[in-house]
Amino acid sequence: MTDVPGVRDRTVAPGPAAAVAVAPGPRRPARAGRTNRTLAGWGFALPFAVLFLVFTAGPVVASLVMSVTDLRSADLLDPFGVNVVGLDNYVRLFGDEKFLTAAGNTAVFVVVGVPLTMALSLLVALGLNSGLVRFRTLLRVGYYLPVVTSIVAISVVWRFVLQPDTGLLNEILGFFGIAGPNWLGNETFALPTLIVMGAWRNLGFGMVIFLAGLQAIPKDLYEAATVDGARRFARFRYLTLPLLRPTMLFVAVITTIGYVQFFEEPFVMTQGGPLDSTLSMAYATYNQFGFGNYGYASAMGYVLFVIVVLLSIVWFKLLRNNVDD
């Protein structure tokens, strides 16, 4: 009964249903459930982990060890006769004229090829995104097709197109009375020709990424800018480019990594010639492995790896600050 005057006691006596106690069932320990989930996760990850250790991490560590030795192909029969030379292989690289030539060619390929590829990719993406171009789906497929086509097949076709006497390009130039040069046999034209070919082949990749970035920009922003009196170039400069910087960062890093390692084009089309004018760092590393200089070639490979990392950091420094803003 309640002690407050005027307030009726509403306490309900427990009925038979309330008196029934539910007996707790057997409870599974939480620790056992977490253990089973952990074991299941490791079970799914184990095949990948084994393959990664055997085919990726293992060779990376082995090549790092090889880079500080004088290992040659003849030493494979007597691995205990290999000498540790420390950083001598790396010091030797900076006095190797052929390697320095390859580094210079690679630098030209990257410095010219990456901006050219990005500019062409963005230009094509802007055209396809404008809505003024017909058959956009067909064009997207056509531009992207070289990306998924074998680079060896593409290089063979380009080599026939660029033949000095019977090549299609010189035949077209001859129709207009222009004598075309030996594109791949001339020291002046060989590397620029490979740069143009690389830009054409990788244009489709950048186009797809830029097109996705353009379609992610809200149209309301363009409508508001138009109402405020911004013209087309102003909208592109002050609206499109700033909002595309994350996309530009991704395309720049991926394209740079690919161009630093360019190998198939000179291997198939010029064999590094003429006069080493198209010799790349990756091709020079391949040649050293072919000569049996495994330790020296491994040092070349790690220098190439450091260059890729440094260039990626440079792109992040140039574009990341604007991305974070």
**Tokens standing for residue 227:** 């109402």
Domain chopping of the chain, boundaries: 35-81, 89-324
Yes or no: domain 89-324 corresponds to CATH 1.10.3720.10: yes
* Maximum alpha-carbon separation in the chain: 117
Q: How high is the pLDDT of residue 70? A: 87
In this predicted structure, which of 23-37, 180-194, 214-228, 286-300 has the lowest mean pLDDT? 23-37
Mean pLDDT for 270-284 is: 92
pLDDT above 70 covers what percent of the chain?
86
Per-residue pLDDT of 39-53, as tens digits, reads 888 888 888 889 989
pLDDT at position 272 over 80: yes
Q: What is the pTM of this model?
A: 0.80
DSSP H helices, 178-293, are 190-215, 219-227, 232-235, 241-243, 245-260, 264-265, 281-290
pLDDT at position 22 over 60: no
The single-letter DSSP state of residue 149 is S
pLDDT at position 325 over 60: no
Per-residue pLDDT of 24-35, as tens digits, reads 555 555 566 677
pLDDT at position 58 over 80: yes
Per-residue pLDDT of 303-316, as tens digits, reads 999 998 898 888 88
Residues in the chain: 325
To the nearest 10°, report the CA torsion of 62, 65, 69, 74.
-10
pLDDT at position 81 over 50: yes
- For the purposes of burial, counting CB atoms within 10 Å of the CB of 184, is it exposed (0-12), middle (13-18) or buried (19 or more)? buried
CA distances to 57, 66, 74, 89, 305 from 63, rounded to whole Å, are 10, 5, 17, 13, 12
Q: How high is the pLDDT of residue 7? A: 46
Q: DSSP string spanning 76-96?
A: GG-GGGPPB-TTHHHHHHTT-
Mean pLDDT for 241-265 is: 90
pLDDT at position 2 over 50: no
Most confident of 79-83, 104-108, 223-227, 315-319: 104-108
Q: How high is the pLDDT of residue 117? A: 95
Q: How high is the pLDDT of residue 222? A: 85
Per-residue pLDDT of 138-186, as tens digits, reads 888 888 999 999 888 999 999 999 998 888 999 999 888 888 899 999 9
